[in-house]
Structure 1
Amino acid sequence: MTTSRTSGARGTSAATDIAYIAVFAALICVLGFVAIPVGSAGVPIVLQNVATILAGLVLGGRRGFLATGLFLLISVAFPVLAGGRTLIQAFSGPTIGYLLGYLLGAGAAGYIAYRAPRNNKLAMVGMFFLGGIVAVLLQYFFGALGLMWRADMGLGPAIAAQLPFILPGIAKLAVMVAIAFAVHSAFPQLRNTR
């Protein structure tokens, strides 16, 4: 009797994980259609990048990474990347590095966020923000590498191309941290699995 309950619980947990991953992959896809062109490198301000961070903050490192991976898999065939592009189209463009940053950033944000103490709200918000900052830095780092590779920029100009995104990025990140905190406050059982 215990064995069937355990396997049933695992099945429910796996089904729940798949549902969470699918929902966040869909959210990341939808937010790709919100883009504001800025800067000389042609890299837009988007909400898709913070949606990947939100996936990590809410779902944890493994599920956030998988949700972002599913989104990238979908983008191979469907134009769900910012600007209505597919991954194939983005591969030859200057933003390809950011996509790797999305994937690694979601995992890192979730890994850090899920180490936050459950009973200390201030520490939880701090850890969520730290996870988000690490994710943004990964996105910018790989984004700069992508600009160096695909836009033939030097290191200095590739780093300078990130500057217009810092203040909007911090504002977007603050909103994502607030959302993640609210979700975890309402559904503390999310952190039972990672």
Structure 2
Amino acid sequence: MTNTTSATKASSTTSDIAFVAVFTALIIVLGFVAVPVGALGVPILLQNTAIILAALVLGPRRGFFVAALFLLIGFIFPVLAGGRTTYFALSSPTVGYVISYLIAVPVAGFIAARVIGKPKGAKVALFIVAGFLGLAIQYLLGAAGMVLRAGLDVPAAAAAQLPFIPTDAIEMAIMVAIAIGVHTAFPDLLRREAR
């Protein structure tokens, strides 16, 4: 009985490590994707929403490990969007966005983990709330970082983010749809995180 429990825990830990590694790699790869759109050439950056996807798929604990590992790797390699390091981001007006990863991910993951045992409509609603709340936290802390590091006032910091809202909203809707699809195929993926 004890051997079975130990084997189950070891298998669970191994799968957790694998999930964290795969999602961290995915987020790093997406940092190199920047598609300019519209007359102003505002880029679509998938990294910010992909990190919320990690929370929606993996839950608060594993999602947090993804965010933390990603930022730790960023101290050594330029893996953040635009080929920047975590050190550079922390010393620039983007500091709020970087810090937001460590807050938005567990918050979104905690809400997403509440889908266990809920009817389909409630699951969809929880994933939507989790995804968009995580994105809102990124925007809020991102604006705070611009106020502190770029000397902008609050209205100017909020206005600086307006061009990104439409594309981020579309991206987040796609990330929510992906999370719902993943959990439809693998309904037990969040069960441990819900405890």
* TM-score where L is the length of structure 2: 0.92
Runs of 4+ in 1 over 4 A off after TM superposition: none
| Counterpart for residue 105 of structure 1 | 104
CA shift in 2, pair 1:100/1:78, >3 Å: same
Please say if residues 116 and 123 of structure 1, whose CA atoms lie closer than 8 Å, have aligned partners that are also in contact.
yes
Matches within 5 A, 1:29-178: 29-36=28-35, 45-178=44-177
- Residues 3-14 of structure 1: pairs in structure 2 closer than 5 A: 3-14=2-13
Q: Could you tell me how far apart the structure 2 residues matched to 1:166 and 1:79 are?
A: 25
The runs of 5 or more residues in structure 1 that have no matched partner are none
Q: Deviations over 1:36-93 (max 9, x none)?
A: 468xxxx954100011100000000111111111101110000100000111122222
CA root-mean-square deviation: 1.9
CA distance in 2, matches of 1:161, 1:13: 43
- Write out per-residue CA displacement over residues 141-160 of structure 1, whole angstroms, 9 at most, x where no aligned residue: 11001111121111110111
In the superposition, relative to structure 1, how do residues 45 and 146 fare at CA in structure 2: closer, same or farther (>3 Å)? farther
Residue 12 of structure 1 aligns to a residue whose secondary structure is helix
Q: Secondary structure at the match of 1:80?
A: coil
Return the alpha-carbon distance in structure 2 between the equivalents of residues 134 and 175 of structure 1: 15
C-alpha separation between the residues in 1 aligned to 2:45 and 2:117? 31
Contact 1:25 1:67 in 2 (8 A): yes
Identity %: 52
Residue 184 of structure 1 corresponds to 183
Is contact 1:52–1:106 with CA below 8 Å preserved after alignment?
yes
So what's the TM-score if we normalise by structure 1?
A: 0.93
For structure 2, which runs of at least 5 residues remain unmatched after alignment? none
Query: Partners in 2 of 1:36 and 1:150 — Cα distance?
Result: 26
Q: CA deviation at 1:119?
A: 4.8
Counterpart code for 2:107: A
Q: Secondary structure of the residue that 1:114 maps to in structure 2?
A: helix
Q: Does 1:22 align with 2:21?
A: yes
SS at match of 1:191: coil
Rounded to whole Å, the distance in 2 between the matches of 1:181 and 1:145 is 31
